Amino acid sequence: MQAFICTACGTQYPPSATPPSACIICEEERQFVPLGGQSWATLQSLSATRFNGWRQHEPGILGIGTQPQFAIGQRALLICTPNGNVLWDCISFLDDATVTLINALGGLKAIAISHPHFYTTMGEWSRAFGGVPIHLHADDQRWIMRPDPAVKLWSGETFKLLPDVTLIRGGGHFAGGTMLHWAKGAEGKGVVCAADIATVNLDRKTLSFMRSYPNFIPLSAKGAQAIAAALEPFAFDRIYAHFFDRMIMTGAKAALRASVERHVAAVGGAYDRG
């Protein structure tokens, strides 16, 4: 039996003789079933046509993304700290080359994931690095499609993952929507890895706050304000979203505040007359 992977969102399901009849993640309003219908892949089938590419964003932060793009197309981040390496977010495809490179950089101490759209093949990643823990917020437990002993649920508003690495619940996109703060990133000014809990826009100057990005369902004013409030106690100058080219390299905390103000005005009707 094979563990089938949804080609639209990248979620892996438990091993079965035949593919699931539907992807629960894609049937929900935050995602979608493609026009051509539901289809499935496996790690074996993906390995015939794909590989993982790397980019160093800054010292200690490397992006990992599958080429050609698969499913949602996000990239993961490898955060290398003196206290161990953290894989932030997950991508579906994992191959021997990726395992070799990460092990050469010191392996993994933990995996942490922002929200269910990026749970993907998290159990495969954990097992490839000795069963390292996968930290997910308990509020999103029902969206775990392939349970794994490595999953460690945390609750509340923050979780100290390593001495300089903190997980922060922002909510919004999902109830347990999580961001990661690395105090030593950005030359000691602090980095937030926000995925699409607070996503960097194409202008790389502002952020957006959505329940669904593909289906254009915005968060309420209260939801966006809650994300900013969750990040307010933390010092940071840089934000990384979930694509290789989506980051605000400096002035990110001010950009977040301004973006929340704009979002609140927009959903309140400020732009109704153009």
- Residue 9 CB-half CA count within 13 A: 26
User: For residue 261, what is the domain's CATH number?
Assistant: 3.60.15.10
User: What is the rounded average pLDDT of the residues 85-95?
Assistant: 98
Q: Is the pLDDT of residue 274 over 80?
A: no
Range of the domain at 91: 5-267
Q: Residue 161 domain-assigned?
A: yes
Please say whether the beta carbons of 191 and 61 come within 8 A. yes
Query: Coil, helix or strand for 37?
Result: coil
In angstroms, the CA 239 to CA 255 distance is 10
Q: What are phi and psi of 101, to 5 degrees?
A: -65, -45
Res. 91: pLDDT tops 80: yes
Q: How many helices (H) and strands (E) does the chain have?
A: 6, 19
3-state secondary structure of 249: coil
Tokens standing for 135? Answer: 């930290």
Q: How would residue 56 be classed by pLDDT, with cut points 50, 70 and 90?
A: very high
Domain count within the chain: 1
Distance, in Å, from the CA atom of 186 to the CA atom of 239, rounded to the nearest integer, reads: 9
State what percent of residues in the chain have pLDDT above 70: 100
Q: Is residue 67 part of a domain?
A: yes
**Percent of the chain as helix, strand, coil, to the nearest 5:** 20, 30, 50
Mean pLDDT of the chain: 98
Stretch 219-229: mean pLDDT: 98
Any domain includes 258: yes
pLDDT above 90 for 99: yes
Determine the pLDDT at residue 94. 98
Task: Provide the β-strand partners of residue 63.
Answer: 55, 77
273 located within any domain:
no
**Per-residue pLDDT reduced to its tens digit, 240-271:** 999 999 999 999 999 999 999 999 999 999 99
- Report the pLDDT value the prediction gives residue 176, as an integer from 0 to 100: 98
Strands 158-162 and 207-208, sheet pairing: unpaired
- Complete DSSP assignment for 99-124: HHHHHHTT--SEEE-SSGGG-TTHHH
**Residue 274 belongs to some domain of the structure:** no
* pLDDT (0 to 100) of residue 273: 79
Contact yes or no for 224/195 (Cβ under 8 A) = no
**CA-to-CA dists, residue 201 to 154, 180, 204, angstroms:** 29, 19, 5
The model's pTM is 0.97
Q: Token digits for 248?
A: 């605000």
47: closest CA among 99, 103, 119, 117?
A: 99
**Percent of the chain with pLDDT strictly greater than 90:** 99
**pLDDT tens across 110-128, in order?**
999 999 999 999 999 999 9
Using alpha carbons, list the distances in angstroms from residue 267 to 23, 119, 220, 274: 31, 30, 7, 13
Rg of the chain over CA atoms, in angstroms? 18
Considering the domain boundaries, does residue 272 fall inside one? no
Tell me if 163 is assigned to some domain. yes
Give the residue among 184, 167, 192, 246 at the shortest CA–CA distance from 59: 184
Q: Is residue 166 part of a domain?
A: yes
